[in-house]
């Protein structure tokens, strides 16, 4: 007696060979629409779905497999005599193999011109229903959703399998497939809604949909296994998950982590900008009228730490900039593009990774951090300075040049790990103090790094000063202007210290903790 296999796939890759293998194993093939035509053209014996159901495909193919002759054949438990008797009474043949993959919803909504109607038309109904039914009854039905499994499944069938463990694995893969599909649909529809209240951006059930991008050699340390996943359905601009690697060996866990931080730091600068990153903190960030000058300034900000670092640019790398970059060891260079001459220069370095990515500004998104047993979620920190909220709290106001430096330093300090202090001047960081347990320690690091260049520079702090010690240290170094959130009980002490030293100080009313 022939067994029956139902094949209905959007992705036709490998399906002809799979069907041929099933026919050789004495399977009757039942199929639908496009899959039926593909198999018929390949001269494979195939039965049209309507000949099984006795009902035509209707509503432009929306209804074809949703029929008892199909689902009873999938769901009947062979070990229950009443089930097999009912199938016989209704002249329904059991279905032993279900090979289904779904409409390309994710690929459709990823298109820039995709409309809501396009998305809705690519939501599969019959496919997930058959997959779930087959997976539920996997002790009796072999369910295949991944074309890469075809040859393996044929091998199992030739040997009298699959085994119970292999069937269970296929069922798990099938439910994961439909869960991923539903999560992609939910995420897309949520992206179209406009929350009426802040809390609405945090759903009661948070569905995450990530697909394996690549296995990594190891994690932060060699003893840790690691992988990189991309978010399915991301429609919010370029990221490392969609970037193009032009040269060099594969990115490591730490490369990806640092590169992602570098890209976020450089997003949104209008002038040519370059950042060098080490351990997710900027060791040098600068802007200028030419990219080569911005790179040189970023390099000079910390010529020691940039060695082996990650560099990101917001303009295509030209020959002059590439020549400067080639003079030291860098792990990764990220830019919107590279001129042919720049590529020739940089490709001479075998292990240097070159990544093409345009760091345009992003819309709001959920920033998430894993903790044991849970997940923290917050709005991404995309807010910029509001000129209407800036408050000069000292007797002296900043000069025009100081105002420009204060705004630059404030943009940088939001990307530095707390406690964060940045000393800057003329569109260049001079000193960065990151991640210390007290603010004065971060300030001392930044000021010491700036050295004599601190004379006439500005200082930015990601949070308020609990004491006036940072102001006193800044004054001793010759810093002339400070920008900080304000809001400490001891603000008056800091303001008085600034006034005594002739420092102009601005309160933002805005904090930028980054942990």
Tokens 């010491």 belong to residue: 448
* 506 vs 509: CA distance, rounded Å: 9
Token pair of 358 as six digits = 């345009």
| DSSP β-bridge partners for residue 215 | 227
Helices (H), 25-110: 33-41, 49-53, 68-75, 81-89, 105-110
Token pair of 208 as six digits = 């995450």
The strands making up 142-144's β-sheet, listed across from edge to edge, are 47-48, 27-31, 3-9, 97-101, 142-144
Is residue 247 part of the annotated active site? The answer reads: no
Pairing assessment for the beta strands 481-484 and 504-507 based on DSSP bridges: parallel
Q: What is the dihedral of CA 272, 504, 397, 275, to 10 degrees?
A: 10
Instruction: Quote the Cα angle for 138-159-132, to 5°.
Output: 15
136, 138, 215, 249: the active-site residue? 136
* 335 vs 115: CA distance, rounded Å: 30
Residue 183 is given by DSSP the state: H
Instruction: Quote the Cα angle for 282-408-238, to 5°.
Output: 60
Is residue 279 part of the annotated active site? The answer reads: yes
User: Under a CB-based contact definition with an 8 Å cutoff, are residues 504 and 480 in contact?
Assistant: yes
12, 20, 83, 279: the active-site residue? 279
Token pair of 272 as six digits = 């040519």
Residue 451 is given by DSSP the state: G
Q: How far is CA 70 from the centre of its chain?
A: 39
Provide the 10 A C-beta neighbour count for residue 3: 16
Catalytic residue numbers read 136, 279
């Amino acid at each position: 007696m022939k067994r029956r296999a139902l094949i209905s796939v959007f992705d036709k890759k490998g399906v002809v060979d799979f069907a041929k293998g099933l026919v050789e194993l004495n399977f009757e093939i039942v199929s639908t629409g496009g899959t039926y035509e593909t198999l018929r053209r390949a001269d494979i014996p195939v039965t049209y779905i309507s000949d099984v159901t006795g009902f035509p495909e209707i509503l432009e193919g929306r209804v074809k497999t949703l029929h008892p002759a199909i689902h009873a054949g999938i769901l009947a438990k062979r070990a229950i005599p009443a089930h097999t008797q009912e199938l016989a009474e209704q002249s329904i043949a059991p279905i032993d193999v279900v090979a289904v993959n779904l409409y390309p919803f994710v690929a459709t909504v990823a298109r820039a011109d995709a409309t809501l109607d396009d998305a809705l038309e690519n939501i599969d109904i019959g496919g997930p229903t058959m997959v779930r039914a087959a997976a539920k009854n996997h002790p009796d039905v072999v369910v295949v959703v991944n074309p890469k499994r075809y040859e393996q499944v044929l091998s199992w069938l030739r040997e009298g399998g699959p085994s119970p463990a292999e069937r269970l694995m296929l069922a798990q893969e099938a439910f994961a497939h439909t869960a991923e599909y539903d999560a992609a649909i939910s995420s897309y529809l949520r992206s179209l809604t406009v929350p009426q209240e802040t809390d609405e951006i945090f759903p009661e059930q948070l569905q995450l949909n990530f697909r394996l991008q690549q296995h990594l050699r190891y994690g932060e340390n060699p003893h840790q296994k690691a992988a990189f996943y991309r978010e399915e359905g991301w429609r919010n601009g370029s990221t490392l998950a969609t970037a193009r690697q032009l040269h060099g060996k594969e990115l490591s866990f730490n490369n990806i982590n640092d590169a992602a931080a570098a890209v976020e730091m450089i997003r949104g600068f209008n002038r040519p900008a370059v950042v060098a990153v080490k351990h997710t903190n900027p060791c040098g960030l600068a802007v200028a009228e030419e990219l080569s000058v911005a790179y040189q300034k970023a390099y000079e900000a910390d010529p020691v730490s940039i060695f082996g670092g990650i560099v990101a640019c917001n303009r295509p790398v030209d020959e002059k900039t590439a020549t400067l970059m080639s003079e030291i060891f860098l792990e990764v260079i990220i830019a919107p593009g590279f001129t042919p001459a720049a590529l020739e220069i940089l490709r001479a370095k075998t292990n240097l990774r070159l990544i093409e990515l345009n760091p345009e500004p992003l819309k709001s998104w959920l920033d998430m951090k894993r903790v044991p047993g849970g997940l923290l979620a917050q709005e991404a920190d995309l807010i910029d300075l509001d000129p209407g909220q800036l408050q000069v709290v000292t007797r002296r106001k900043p000069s025009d040049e100081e105002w420009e430096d204060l705004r630059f330093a404030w943009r940088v300090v939001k990307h530095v790990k707390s406690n964060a202090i940045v000393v800057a001047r003329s569109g260049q960081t001079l000193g960065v103090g990151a991640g210390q347990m007290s603010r004065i320690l971060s300030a001392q690091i930044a000021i010491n790094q700036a050295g004599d260049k601190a004379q006439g520079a500005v200082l930015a702090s990601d949070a308020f000063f609990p004491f006036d010690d940072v102001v006193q240290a800044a004054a001793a170094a010759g810093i002339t202007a400070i920008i900080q959130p304000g809001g400490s009980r001891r603000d008056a002490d800091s303001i008085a210290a600034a006034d005594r030293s002739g420092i102009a100080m601005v309160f933002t009313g805005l904090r930028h903790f980054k942990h």
